Structure formats: structure tokens, C-alpha cells
Homo-oligomer: A and B are copies of this chain.
């Protein structure tokens, strides 16, 4: 892996092109934005995954190559060709990811120079991993990475991941950019199923302001270097659990680093009839500007939370609703509950995580969702930012 500065971002200290290279053909799976207006790199990767022959992923930040029409698609293919050529692979063995400004064409000479420079600095040490992870970032305050090791199928298997994203975060079927890496052996079908499952509880359960990006992409590369054959049975199940946990850790970092965020909202919706119902209610609460500003202000304004649940488009009995914030019960069986507002407010102010538990009486389904609060800094940042 390697990340280099190629001049796409203005600041010369910031990496903007990364290469992630497998020693041999790797199994690759991908999950992508459901936005109808999707970027050229998403179109390329979607057509190439799942696969069993991927050698590298080229990433650039500072330019999303989105809403760029036919020329954008041509540029994405050229970026993939440059990357595979630099690592001695065939053109179709590369995937690409882009993030940054929408509607401008990729600066292809900078991309080419960046890929060439990165290919000469490839390494497998922590520094290389971190420089590649930095090459994904845009408005992120810092790098977002996870890693873990697991004993599976008689071998030590490693999982590592990197992601970016702090704004335009409202993924439905995927998120901004994320790459999960493992040396486990997986069939393409198992890799795709494991990734889709992991994304469902992680990148699909986060938002910053709820605006779904054009470039959301999460990739999984599995080299198989840790064992002789693909995982199966209990080992595969254990791998899927490990991947899911790593994906959740990685995904949570995104709203925690939401533009201007001062709180990470952790929203549990429990007692729903279906997981989809719970998810829809949690997302509606998470994306309400009134809930987000209340959390920012340390205000236990439960009316904003309960009323958001009420317009989520999910049927439930309002008289069966309980609400807790940071373990204080504020609402019980559809009626206000006496509580010490100063204590709840102090708890909200003194903790970065604000834990909201909305309990329904409809069934056993539940979901956990993470989101950012809404602050003056978010508004300043996104008003002052100019195309």
C-alpha cells in the first residue's frame, strides 16, 4: 500500500492518490451507493465485482469524478489501466475509487503521476497502510482505520480496513469510501455475501446529514494468503462475525468525525415489528435537524425524538412507546415521565456519546444507528465551502 501527494489537493502535505496492491489475484467484493446519480468509478467497480482476479485498487481524493458523463467513465477506465500497468497486471484487474468535488473532470496527468509515484513506494508496514488511508480523506479530521487478527480454519487470519467520510453521509446500501482487507481465503460469492451482511449493520447504519453521496463504495479484498483453501462452515461464520465487528468499528468513526460534530448519537430502536421498521425510525430520528440541535445543546428534548419517530412512515402504537436518554427514562407508555432535566442535561454535556433508546411494543426487531449532532460549525463549513 502507499499514498502520495499528486497535486489534486492544494496542501502538499496531504496524500491524494493511494494504491492498494495484492501480491496475487485477490477475491474482491463491493457494495455501492444506491444514488441514481452515481459516479464513474462506481460504474466501473460495480461491473467488475464480485471477482477473483483483482490485483489493485487505485484511489484519489479531491475530485469525485461524479456527474462527468462519458468523459468521466473514460477517465475512470484510464485510471484503472494506469494502476494495473504500474503493478504488472491486466487492465481489468484494477478497481478505482474517487472522492471530492462533484462535476469536475479528473486531472489525468496528476492521476498518472500519482499512481506512478505510489507504485514505487509500496510497502506492507504500518506507515504504508496509514499513508494509503490518508489518501482517501477529504474533510476528515484524521485517518479512519481498523485491524484485527483471528484464529480461523487453523490459521491466523487478519482483517484490516480503512474508510473516509465526514460530510454528505447518508448511505443506504453502502457508504462513502471504505476498503476492508483480509488474508482469509474466500470464494467471490462468500466474500460478497459477507461484505453485504457486514455493511448492513455498519455503513448502512450511519449518517451525518443524511445526504446520500454519488460515490459511496465499500470494497473487500481477500488474498487467501492465510490458508490453503477458502473458509467454510463455522470458520466462515466466525469470519463473517469478525468482518461485521470490524466494519461497525470503522463505520462509527464516520459520524463521530462528522463535520462540526460535538456528539456521537447512538440510537437504539428496539421492539419493532421488523428490522426495516426499526432502521427507518432510527434514521428519521438521526436525520432530524431538531433532534441533532437538541443533542448539541445538551437538551433532553424528548418531544423532538418521539415526534420524529411518528413521521418515519412506520405504523406503531404511540401508547406503547418508552424513551431513555443516557439511561434516564423520559417517556413511558406514551406519556411524559417526571425526570430531573439538569441531571440529564449534565450527562449529555459531559459525554461525547449520547445514547438514545426508543422502545416500541410491536415485536422483537431492533437496530443500532450512529449519527452526528448538528452544530454551528457544520453550517459554517458547508456555507463557506465554495465550488
Question: A-side interface residues toward B, CB under 8 Å?
Answer: 34-38, 64, 66-69, 101-104, 167-168, 170, 172, 209-214, 288-291, 293-294, 296-297, 299-304, 306-311, 315-316, 318-319, 321, 331, 334-336, 341, 345, 374-376, 378-380, 382-387
Contact = CB atoms under 8 A, between A and B. Distances in A.
B38 A310 contact: yes
A114 B374 CA distance: 38
B211 A310 contact: no
Contacts of A376: 376, 379-380, 383
A375 B382 CA distance: 10
B310 A36 contact: yes
14 contacts: A36-B315, A37-B307, A67-B331, A68-B336, A69-B319, A102-B303, A102-B306, A168-B304, A172-B311, A294-B382, A303-B387, A341-B387, A376-B380, A379-B379
Given A67-B336, A68-B336, A293-B379, A35 B307 contact: yes
A299 B34 contact: no
Nearest to A37: B310
**How many copies altogether?**
2
A69 B333 CA distance: 9
A268 to B, nearest CB: 19
Contacts of A383: 293-294, 296-297, 299, 375-376
B311 A34 contact: yes
Nearest to A310: B37
A316 B37 CA distance: 9
Contact of A303 (B67, B302, B382): B67
Contacts of A293: 378-379, 382-383
Most buried by B among A68, A103, A212, A331: A103
A66 B336 CA distance: 10
B297 A384 contact: yes
A376 B37 CA distance: 29
Contacts of A209: 288-290
B294 A336 contact: no
Contact of A334 (B69, B300, B341, B345): B69
A303 B379 contact: no
Nearest to A381: B293
B297 A386 contact: yes
A168 to B, nearest CB: 6
A172 B310 CA distance: 12
Nearest to A379: B376
A209 B209 CA distance: 12
Given A311-B170, A376-B380, A385 B299 contact: yes
A3 B318 CA distance: 33
B380 A307 contact: no
A336 B37 CA distance: 13
